[in-house]
Amino acid sequence: MLSKKQARAFFLVGTLVTFMIFIFLTIYSLSKAQDQSHAENITPAVVRGKKLWEKNNCMGCHTLMGEGGYYAPELTKIVERRGDAYIKAALMSKTPWQVHGRKMVAYGMTEQEANDMVAFFTWIGNIDLNGFERVVSPLAKDKVTN
């Protein structure tokens, strides 16, 4: 059993050590060496693709890296799974794209817009996911196998 003085010292030392570990891990996780997003690969096309993603509210149905809606398939590694021609065809289609019983809005994008979206998806797909090859929501599993 610790005396009151020992308990106070134990608490203060434990708090200080925990705080120092927290500060170290925060600095370490924010360091350039830990950047897994490959920000140097962000091109103007990637930025335009991201803006199209937001403008069209794609996240309302799709997920990227596990975030977003669960209605439609996860798109983190879509370029690897489907290829850019498939993605462009879906985005440039003038009629609703129906896959596995779910309808995707017919955006009728231009070729430039579709290329920008592919650039965005390619950049997203190259982010290091710490060993997770594919993030898939449990409610909207894509039926394509790797």
| Per-residue pLDDT tens listing for the chain (146 residues) | 889 999 999 999 999 999 999 999 998 888 777 667 777 888 999 999 999 999 999 999 898 888 888 888 889 889 998 999 999 999 999 888 777 777 888 899 999 999 999 999 999 988 877 666 554 444 444 444 43
**19 with 43, same domain?**
no
Six token digits for residue 37: 């997003």
**105 with 56, same domain?**
yes
**59 with 122, same domain?**
yes
| Predicted local confidence at residue 142, as pLDDT | 45
Range of the domain at 18: 1-34
**104 with 67, same domain?**
yes
**69 with 110, same domain?**
yes
What is the C-alpha end-to-end distance of the chain, expressed in Å? 58
**28 with 97, same domain?**
no
| Predicted local confidence at residue 102, as pLDDT | 77
Domain total for the chain? 2
Q: Find the helix or strand (DSSP H, E) in which 79 lies.
A: helix 78-82
| Predicted local confidence at residue 18, as pLDDT | 97
**142 with 88, same domain?**
yes
**19 with 91, same domain?**
no
CA distance 79 to 63: 14
**30 with 49, same domain?**
no
**82 with 143, same domain?**
yes
